[in-house]
Amino acid sequence: MNVRNRWFLILAATMSATLVFAAACSSGTSSSDKTATAGAGSGAKSPAAGATTAATSASGAHADAAPADQQKITIQLGEPQFYDPHRSNFEQDIGVERMLFRGLYNLTDDGKGGVKVENGIADGEPKVEAVTGAGKLAAPNEAGETVYTIKLKSGLKWSDGQPITAKDFVYGIQRECDPVVASPYQYILGAGIGEVKGCDEAFANKDAAAQAALTAAIGAKATDDLTLQVTTNKPVATFNTIFALWPTFPSRQDLIEKFKDAWTDPANIVVNGPFTLKEVVAKDHATLAPNPNWFGQKPALQQITVKFIDDLPAAFKAFQTGELQETEIQATDSTVAKADSGLKASVLIVPSARITTIEVQMKDPILGANGGTPEKIKAAFNLRLAMSRALDRKALVDAVFDGVHAPATYWLVKGLKAFQGNEKFDSTIGFDKAAAQKAEADAGYPNGAGLPTFTWIARDTQQKRDEADFVKKAFKDTLGINIDPQFVDSKTRSADFNNETFQLFPGGWQLDYPDAENPLVGLFNTGGGNNHYNCTNPDVDAAFKEAGTAASDDARTKAYQKMETAIVTNLCGVIPMYQDAKPYLLSPKIGGVLANGTIDAGQPGNYCMECWYVKKS
């Protein structure tokens, strides 16, 4: 949560109930920092294939599992840009990293359509104490520095046999706060969310000579091999949730200092999750195998091959020929598959806590005009407004996605407590040709006169090509605006976004955890780590500050609604298009899959890849 100065909120951090289908599978003691999921779309469809509620033994063995030599699967995913959890902000990276690493806590299904936080490396709940004026620890108070003391499970090892220690978590936190690493998720530990003492100061530092002292001042230390202390500026209501996310994963200082950026190469990487990285073939695949030192549920799978496929029709064919056992598919192909008697049992549509938008580079002198004159800023806004009002979202969803997604003029997804929905924004930014043309004329570009052709960076899939064709025609026919779609692979697309080398970029946000702070803080406040469209707006920043000082969860929710309203009505970096549902094909031979569209995993399930297995023929 973004509220840190009222301790009672730690016990009362609640969210609305949601519609996402879930079935509990992971082992481990449940944490008291529970987070209900954000519902996604119009309700989930129970999986017809793969998903299972079959009981497992403590070792993870399944009564219906095939022999070990048959426990091999091949799945589809885009190619990661990084295998380093402290540098990643795209789903294809995180999806693989969650197989390789784990943190103090872990997000999983609660069995009731929500998400819970379980103990991971942590051996129970943190002990929470406040720092008194004398520098001593006492019972928690409403404000001021707070110390979280976490005991680690004993006897745990990295994949190379070295013990997992509290120092590894300290180093992981220090890397996340390191300006050289330049994590786009650093803000998750900074002001407004994780509140780790000294993290923002270290991350903002430009003086190399001062870095060592700033790093030492970060509020993370190991008091012994199995005891981690994290000092925060304020109490953190979602502490366990934050420390279930990849920016807080541990790191091996010895290996990173030895191998530098090559520490994630298969020959060098050491992991603490259920799988190890055995091979990476650029532009083709990665191969994973079980980590013999993994402490949790033992994977039945003996090999996971992750094929880097952006072309979803090609992936569809690969599934039909048996090359793939799981793949994301185009929405239109889900309609085809459901009509095929041999495939319909494999279709799995997972409602997603994801919003898809046209992301707009606000530094562009025409589209955003950041730092320009008031007249140029106003003209840029009217141009974005014209684009938004020229877009018939329902026609887009129906024509390109067979109605699988839900048209959206909002940013906060359905299911979040702060959800405001289309009713709030349709009349302001929704489809209206006449209003679109007036806004364009008000911008000074009637029928596109004087405008250049804008680039449109998208993944090279047929569905994204069809989406680009729809938008291109809508902009041309209504506004006389030309766009130049450029289709690239997933890795290049990620780099283009992070390097801010785009004008128009169909992107969006999949919740990392279901709280309104997650799709807002760090994404739209000025200088936020994932604010690569460079939204900067005084109303957005004021609402962000209001949320941080709210005295109740309801007040915080209202502040986040103000923040969303300022973003959407100003089209500050984003033009919303639709809320997603994710269609997959999943082989009936695969068991243990937990369908949960709230958790950002890159697969049709939660992070528990160790739960997956191949069934007997």
In three-state form (DSSP H/G/I as H, E/B as E, the rest C), the secondary structure along 60-106 is: CCECCECCHHHCEEEEEECCCCCCCCCCCCCHHHHHHHHHHCCCCEE
Most confident range, picked from 228-237, 328-337, 448-457: 448-457
- pLDDT confidence of residue 432: 98
- Return the amino acid letter for 477: D
Q: CA–CA separation, 215 vs 194, rounded Å?
A: 17
Task: Tell me the mean pLDDT in the region 213-227.
Answer: 98
CB 193 within 8 A of CB 117: no
Band of residue 512 on the pLDDT scale cut at 50, 70, 90: confident
Q: Which of the residue ranges 3-17, 94-108, 122-136, 300-314 would you say has the lowest mean pLDDT? A: 3-17
- pLDDT confidence of residue 113: 61
**Model confidence pLDDT, tens digit, residues 372-409:** 999 999 999 999 999 999 999 999 999 999 998 999 99
- pLDDT confidence of residue 607: 72
Task: Tell me the mean pLDDT in the region 33-55.
Answer: 37
**Model confidence pLDDT, tens digit, residues 155-164:** 999 999 999 9
Which of 15 and 295 is assigned the larger pLDDT? 295
Closest-CA residue to 236 (of 6, 531, 501): 6
Band of residue 594 on the pLDDT scale cut at 50, 70, 90: confident
Tokens describing residue 429: 């930014």
- pLDDT confidence of residue 597: 64
- pLDDT confidence of residue 13: 35
Q: Which of the residue ranges 20-34, 167-181, 194-208, 499-513 would you say has the lowest mean pLDDT? A: 20-34
- pLDDT confidence of residue 143: 59
Q: At a CB cut-off of 8 Å and minimum separation 6, what does 237 contact? A: 1, 3, 4, 9, 10, 13
Task: Tell me the mean pLDDT in the region 524-532.
Answer: 92
Instruction: Give pTM, 2 decimals.
Output: 0.76
Tokens describing residue 321: 């020929």
pLDDT higher than 70, residue 504: yes
Question: What residues pair up with 147 in beta bridges, in sequence order?
Answer: 129, 231
pLDDT higher than 70, residue 57: no
Look over the chain and give the mean of its residue pLDDT values, rounded to a whole number: 87
Which of 500 and 238 is assigned the larger pLDDT? 500
pLDDT higher than 70, residue 577: yes
- pLDDT confidence of residue 7: 27
- pLDDT confidence of residue 413: 94
Task: Tell me the mean pLDDT in the region 35-57.
Answer: 37
- pLDDT confidence of residue 534: 96
- pLDDT confidence of residue 581: 86
Task: Tell me the mean pLDDT in the region 467-485.
Answer: 98
**3-class DSSP assignment, residue 37:** coil
Taking the CB of residue 360, how many other CB atoms lie within 10 A of it? 27
- pLDDT confidence of residue 351: 76
Q: What percent of the chain has pLDDT over 90?
A: 72
- pLDDT confidence of residue 9: 31
Which of 61 and 199 is assigned the larger pLDDT? 199
- pLDDT confidence of residue 601: 67
- pLDDT confidence of residue 606: 64
Q: Which of the residue ranges 39-43, 68-72, 423-427 would you say has the lowest mean pLDDT? A: 39-43
Band of residue 505 on the pLDDT scale cut at 50, 70, 90: very high
Question: What residues pair up with 575 in beta bridges, in sequence order?
Answer: 358
Query: Residue 297: exposed, middle, or buried by beta-carbon count in 10 A (0-12, 13-18, 19+)?
Result: buried
Sign of CA dihedral 551, 552, 558, 560: positive
Query: Residue 536, Cα to own-chain centre: how many angstroms?
Result: 22
- pLDDT confidence of residue 608: 86
